[in-house]
Chain A
Amino acid sequence: MFLQENAIERDILRQGDIISNILILGAININGIQFQVDQKGEKKFWSVSQQPKYSDAMILSHSCEIDPSNSIKLTSLILAPLRDINKATNPSKIEELKKSNYIDSSVQASYLKYFYIHPHPMLSYDDGAIVDFSKCFSLKKESYNMLVERKIIQLNDDAIDKMSLKLALYFYRNNKQIA
């Protein structure tokens, strides 16, 4: 699943890269945002009345789009947080979830919202983690260098293909499907 330490591209971001311990902006409760208004009632500043959450996160943006040489297209970077698989409330599903990364035409059911990440010495999840696509968020391109500095793991091509197919299937529902 992972590239060897000496094969990791240290000065560039790729789809599937794992970023260490950054502020997670996804899944914010918009009703919890407080605004400071000026005399005209215009909203000037805002704050979120909840404790900041830090976690590892995966780059979901396509590698071509976020390539620095592609300066026109690079505007934002999309990420999703990693979550500890041992915090799952239904442990009996975990083994099934671990196998669900592989999808082909023979697969009848899967956990499309999650992508399983194997245990890794650079990660603190003893039995692995899941990338939660439902909590994705974007950062401006100015965050690129900060993310590069915090990049700790790079997926191999096979894992990237599996992840991006699952991501696409998670968002894609054609009209014939009910939900």
Chain B
Amino acid sequence: MGTSLATKSTSNTAKSNIIDFYSFRNQRDSYSTSLPSEDILNQIIGNPEFENYLKEIVEGIIYSQWASDIASNLTNTDDPFDSIYLADLKPDSINDYNISLLNYISNQIEDKSDELIINDGWDD
């Protein structure tokens, strides 16, 4: 993933180097020159290609930062489950008396838990 992100970032930069300002120069020639610097600025800001150019730069920066954050956090990624060392385990001993008791009691006992509700928001 890190590699592909880096490629994406490089691609953005490369594309920004070949942006075509030809149309911008042609437009400038036909405009009034009373406030040339303001005209130029407006044309640059209003130029769709320049907008895309800026957008790509900003997105590239955000993307690179995100990729950097991911990469730096990889070592902190925690696997929520541990390996099960089956080869090292021994089966638990099973107590016949406990099974008999569970069977005996569970056959005759009624669970009344549903008759009680605790009003602390956890059952909502």
Interface size for B (C-beta < 8 A) is 31
Check A27–B122 contact: CB distance below 8 A. yes
Closest to B83 in A: A75
The digit string for A93-119, where 1 denotes a CB below 8 A from any CB of B, is: 100110000011101111111100000
B116 within 8 A of A: yes
Nearest opposing residue in chain A for B115, CB measure: A93
CB contacts between A and B, total, < 8 Å: 99
CB-CB under 8 A for A111 and B112, given A72-B85, A72-B88, A141-B82: yes
Residue numbers in B under 8 Å from A174 (CB-CB): 103, 106-107
Among A124-174, those with CB < 8 Å from B are 130, 132, 135, 140-141, 165, 168-170, 172-174
- The size bracket of the interface on A is 35 or more
Question: Are B104 and A88 closer than 8 Å at their CB atoms?
Answer: no
- Given A38-B1, A88-B117, A140-B80, answer yes or no on A73-B89 (Cβ-Cβ < 8 Å): yes
A interface residues (Cβ-Cβ under 8 A, vs B): 27, 38-40, 44, 53, 72-73, 75-76, 81, 83-85, 87-90, 93, 96-97, 103-105, 107-114, 130, 132, 135, 140-141, 165, 168-170, 172-174, 176-177, 179
**B106 & A172 in contact (Cβ 8 Å cutoff):** yes
- Considering only residues 95-119 of chain B, those with a C-beta below 8 Å from chain A are 98, 101-113, 115-119
- For residue A172, which residues in chain B have a CB less than 8 angstroms away from its CB? 102, 106
- Which residues from chain A contact B116 at a C-beta distance below 8 Å? 88-90, 93, 97, 111, 114
Bound: A168/B78 CA distance, A: 31
* Chain A residue at minimum C-beta to C-beta distance from B98: A168
Task: Pick the most buried of A38, A84, A85: most chain B CB atoms within 10 A of its CB.
Answer: A38
Which residues of B approach A to under 8 Å, CB–CB? 1, 5, 70, 78, 80, 82, 84-85, 88-89, 98, 101-113, 115-120, 122
Give A39 to B3 CA distance when docked, in angstroms: 13
CB <8 Å contact, A168 and B102: yes
- Closest Cβ–Cβ distance, residue B96 to chain A (whole Å): 15
Task: State whether A113 touches B88 (Cβ < 8 A).
Answer: no
Measured between beta carbons, the chain A residues less than 8 angstroms from B85 are 72
Partner of B110, one of A27, A38, A89, A109: A109
The residues of B that contact A85 with a CB separation of less than 8 Å are 118
A89 touches B111 (CB 8 A): no
